[in-house]
A and B are shown apart, each in its own frame.
Chain A
């Protein structure tokens, strides 16, 4: 299990837990970032991590992306 922010562009993972505050977790889950959901990292360099989840592109700040734990698939 590694943070989402550690995935390379092109890598896919499955969300395990969201290690963020309550309000933030709700927001992430309502945008489709639920534990069990598959995500694909599209771009990950210095700024926000850009992923694809539920067919939608999402930019997530590096801080938050470091607290989303995924299993690489």
Chain B
């Protein structure tokens, strides 16, 4: 290793840590937020990577999944362990929480047993000293034999030192010769025996032999299978040693091993951590008195979520502030709020852009289908894609703030009791809450649920919750059909209530009939102390996840958007230059669909056409009504095609459920990864739309309303 090389070297550094120790914050701090978000191969688990340069060395940083151990019990643990064993990073940084070393050191100890080139990053030292904890870092370093760096990822303290240590370890300067040895008490003779056989036979060479022996004694299925494949006899022998150990020790070897690690940790904490003064019970405890209360908890969680959504709604679409202002007689101000909401501004920008391009192309002599393809098809679809950005960003900011502040797991606890009745855990509340903002965000957020089955179920059912786009359509339909604001509100609120009920009911049914599981997954969740969310962390989280989605689903959205443009602008007679939508393929298809829309009391090709367009984005329904009727105001347009209260209810129900929008379907594909489940989701929604809307229509007929 030439220190004076002119060619920049590249090293691979992995960051590991348990949930809530600030691992992602550190990652963000080091990379400055310049990261690449992807998935770990074959699973929906986010993989974040970033590049930086330090003292002329290129460092490739990989953020390993947050796990409590390396036991390979779940996919995150397996991925983290496989990465260490197969990719052999030059340095492994393990992040621990200075305020709870007795807990967070567990993963670090396991890491040091498995790997030599480890650095211990002790995070949140500022919070620790505030709580009166004094840590002897030098002592820890000499006992563990690895560099120990005190840091505060949030404030950026110690990060430079950490990078220096990373280079030193990568160059082999401060590396231990072998991995950490812990006293496993009664297990030691058996460990020795198995390790010796592994060495003699040269089996499991990827792992330190002592480590592999301990894992085999603990009953690690993954390692056992690996051994069984290469040496069946040795595997049988190992199994017999394990059984013998259990009988002779009178205890499960696994329990002895885990206890031994914790005993080692207790010894470390006792020797190197001093509590110089007692922490005073703070805000955290008082807040928890409310959040963990059986009645006030769910109320408080609901209040926080609704208040946040009110804000998000206003910034995004102006609703409901614009309606309140209008009601109070400030019509002009209401218009301004709407116009300068994010989606208003973005819409204006895209209209402006498309007009400029159109004028420019016309001046070059193109005014046929090509201009339309570019201005309406391409820029239009791009506009659809971009219009998701604020929705997604805000939904992610909300999710990030909930997670970072510690409210997320508490709200999950608060809702658990209700959700269990439907085969879900309290965690399923979040996709539903986010769904009120954007179904795409709801579907993507399910990856925070670690139970695979629950994750799939909630991804499939959360699109039932009306998103902001559907809220807009819903309000327009309600205003067009009902003169009385009270009736409008009743329709809107009923649809929301029904949607939440359907979310829970369909989840229960999917659990029972598709996944054949009766019991809700048990919650086992850490509740970290509350803290003020860091804007930096939240912004980074929201930005990288939004980019990730746009990259994955962007092409699909553009492609299907252009396909829809083709159906709307071409007919049997070729390109419809006059914008006569009635002669398009889409209208033809709409006429074919009339028997189906007839079932819900809307036997009119114009509704069918609107449903087709609404697949791209639900606002498309309104745009279609406007362009068919030739009236810019969608409320007027709906009235001119003869909407009635009964038709309005039917249309509102059908619009809400008939199919998840294009972007949501794209998200379902990338999250579920099983085409069958996506199709089931779509059919389920279509079925719900037909059932609910035709029920309304049939009862109206029966009661003589029509």
Give the interface SS of chain A, mostly helix, strand, loop or mixed.
mixed
- Contact A59–B102 (Cβ < 8 Å): no
- Contact A46–B294 (Cβ < 8 Å): yes
With both chains docked as a complex, state the minimum distance between the C-beta of B80 and any C-beta of chain A, in angstroms. 14
| Complex: A32 Cα to B426 Cα, angstroms | 23
- Contact B258–A26 (Cβ < 8 Å): yes
- Contact B417–A61 (Cβ < 8 Å): no
Knowing A42-B292, A59-B413, say if A34 contacts B258 (CB, 8 Å). yes
A57 within 8 A of B: yes
What 1/0 mask marks residues of chain A from 28 to 47 whose CB sits below 8 Å from any chain B CB? Answer: 11111011100000110111
Q: Taking each of B68, B69, B413, which has the highest tally of chain A beta carbons within 10 Å of its own beta carbon?
A: B413
Query: Which of chain A's residues have a CB closer than 8 A to the CB of B106?
Result: 30, 32
- Contact B524–A32 (Cβ < 8 Å): no
- Contact A61–B68 (Cβ < 8 Å): no
Specify which of A23, A32, A45, A54 is in contact with B73 (CB 8 Å cutoff).
A23
What 1/0 mask marks residues of chain B from 666 to 697 whose CB sits below 8 Å from any chain A CB? Answer: 00000000000000000000000000000000
Q: Which residue of B lies closest to A31 (CB)?
A: B68
Report the count of interface residues on B (CB-CB < 8 A).
36
A2 within 8 A of B: no
- Contact A59–B523 (Cβ < 8 Å): yes
With both chains docked as a complex, state the minimum distance between the C-beta of A47 and any C-beta of chain B, in angstroms. 4
Query: Which of chain A's residues have a CB closer than 8 A to the CB of B262?
Result: 32, 34
What 1/0 mask marks residues of chain A from 45 to 56 whose CB sits below 8 Å from any chain B CB? Answer: 111101000111
Query: Which of chain B's residues have a CB closer than 8 A to the CB of A16?
Result: none
Knowing A30-B68, A34-B258, A45-B294, say if A60 contacts B103 (CB, 8 Å). no
B254 within 8 A of A: yes
Knowing A48-B413, A50-B413, A61-B416, say if A35 contacts B71 (CB, 8 Å). no
With both chains docked as a complex, state the minimum distance between the C-beta of B524 and any C-beta of chain A, in angstroms. 6
| Complex: A58 Cα to B525 Cα, angstroms | 6
- Contact A58–B526 (Cβ < 8 Å): yes
B259 within 8 A of A: yes
| Complex: A49 Cα to B294 Cα, angstroms | 11
With both chains docked as a complex, state the minimum distance between the C-beta of A67 and any C-beta of chain B, in angstroms. 10
Knowing A30-B69, A34-B259, A54-B103, say if A61 contacts B522 (CB, 8 Å). yes
Q: Which residue of B lies closest to A18 (CB)?
A: B255
Which size class do A's interface residues fall under?
20 to 34
Query: Which of chain B's residues have a CB closer than 8 A to the CB of A63?
Result: 519, 522
What 1/0 mask marks residues of chain B from 285 to 296 whose CB sits below 8 Å from any chain A CB? Answer: 000100011100
With both chains docked as a complex, state the minimum distance between the C-beta of B407 and any C-beta of chain A, in angstroms. 13
A7 within 8 A of B: no
Query: Which of chain A's residues have a CB closer than 8 A to the CB of B580?
Result: none
With both chains docked as a complex, state the minimum distance between the C-beta of A62 and any C-beta of chain B, in angstroms. 8
Q: Which residue of B lies closest to A61 (CB)?
A: B522
- Contact B100–A55 (Cβ < 8 Å): yes
Query: Which of chain B's residues have a CB closer than 8 A to the CB of A23?
Result: 73
With both chains docked as a complex, state the minimum distance between the C-beta of B419 and any C-beta of chain A, in angstroms. 9
| Complex: A33 Cα to B294 Cα, angstroms | 24
Specify which of A45, A46, A55 is in contact with B102 (CB 8 Å cutoff).
A55
| Complex: A28 Cα to B73 Cα, angstroms | 12
With both chains docked as a complex, state the minimum distance between the C-beta of B79 and any C-beta of chain A, in angstroms. 17
Specify which of A43, A54, A57, A60 is in contact with B524 (CB 8 Å cutoff).
A60
Q: Which chain B residues numbered 69 to 107 have a C-beta less than 8 Å away from chain A?
A: 69, 71, 73, 100, 102-103, 106
Q: Which residue of B lies closest to A58 (CB)?
A: B526
B219 within 8 A of A: yes
| Complex: A63 Cα to B416 Cα, angstroms | 12
- Contact B219–A50 (Cβ < 8 Å): no
Specify which of B219, B288, B521, B527 is in contact with A58 (CB 8 Å cutoff).
B527
Knowing A26-B71, A50-B292, say if A57 contacts B102 (CB, 8 Å). no
Knowing A27-B73, A27-B524, say if A47 contacts B417 (CB, 8 Å). yes
Additional A-B contacts beyond A26-B73, A35-B255, A54-B102 (7; CB < 8 A): A30-B71, A43-B293, A47-B414, A47-B416, A57-B527, A58-B526, A61-B522
Q: What are the 4 A-B residue pairs with the smallest beta carbon separation, nearest first? A: A61-B522, A45-B294, A57-B527, A43-B292
Name B's A-contacting residues (CB within 8 A). Answer: 68-69, 71, 73, 100, 102-103, 106, 219, 254-255, 258-259, 262, 288, 292-294, 409, 412-414, 416-417, 425-426, 519, 521-529
Complex A-B: 8 CB contacts under 8 Å: A28-B524, A30-B68, A31-B526, A35-B255, A43-B288, A54-B103, A56-B103, A59-B416
